[in-house]
Structure 1
Amino acid sequence: MAFMVGKAGVFKAEWQAPPKAIVKYTFIVPDLRRRDPDNLIASCKAILDGLVDAGVIRDDSGKQMVFDQPEIKYIKGKRAIIISIGEFMGTT
Structure 2
Amino acid sequence: MSSIDLPEELRRLIEEVTMNKLNEVRGKTETLIFVDSVIDEVKRRGVVMDDDTEAKARPYVVDILWTLRKRGVIAMDDDLLHFSLTRSQDT
Instruction: Tell me which interval the TM-score lies in, with the shorter structure as reference length.
Output: 0.3 to 0.5
Query: Normalising by the residue count of structure 1, what TM-score does the alignment of the two structures yield?
Result: 0.34
Query: Normalising by the residue count of structure 2, what TM-score does the alignment of the two structures yield?
Result: 0.35
Structure holding more strand per residue:
1
Larger relative contact order (CA 8 Å, sep ≥ 6): 1
Structure holding more helix per residue:
2
